Amino acid sequence: LYFSVQEGILFFYHIKDLQYEMKICADILQPISSLVFSPDYTVLLLVTDQGTLYTYKPAHSGEAVKLLDACSSCFLAADFLTPGDKYCMSVTISGEVQVWFLEDGTCLSKLNLDIEVYV
């Protein structure tokens, strides 16, 4: 079980039978607004309140890697494009939809909806 707290800390709870173990996985120093696993559960996408996207690879137990910073407006939501875990899509409050290559954060495509977006 992965979850975050207001301070921007990503926690992992390993639960087995009636016992559990808690581990701090990453501290990104920004409140996390959403967590999304890739379809194959190898990458966790973290979206912050300030509009920054991070990736975290549970199998590598490393730090969360900053992928993208908010451009013209904050990222409102993000999710993986399936199949696989190489691309993600984001939407900003200003209505810009973007497709990103996760390996290096390259923006591959964008479309402006010309409306303000709410979740």
Query: Which residue ranges make up each domain of the chain?
Result: 2-112
Other residues' Cβ atoms within 10 Å of the Cβ of residue 6: 8
Other residues' Cβ atoms within 10 Å of the Cβ of residue 76: 20
Reported residue count of the chain is 119
Question: Which tens digits make up the pLDDT trace of 26-82?
Answer: 888 888 888 888 888 888 888 887 778 888 888 877 788 888 775 545 777 888 888
Question: Which tens digits make up the pLDDT trace of 101-112?
Answer: 888 888 899 999
pLDDT for the residue 51: 76
The domain covering 2-112 belongs, at the CATH homologous superfamily level, to YVTN repeat-like/Quinoprotein amine dehydrogenase (2.130.10.10)
pLDDT for the residue 73: 59
C-beta separation of 75 from 92 below 8 A: yes
Greatest alpha-carbon pair distance for the chain in Å reads 51
- Coil, strand or helix: which one is 57? coil
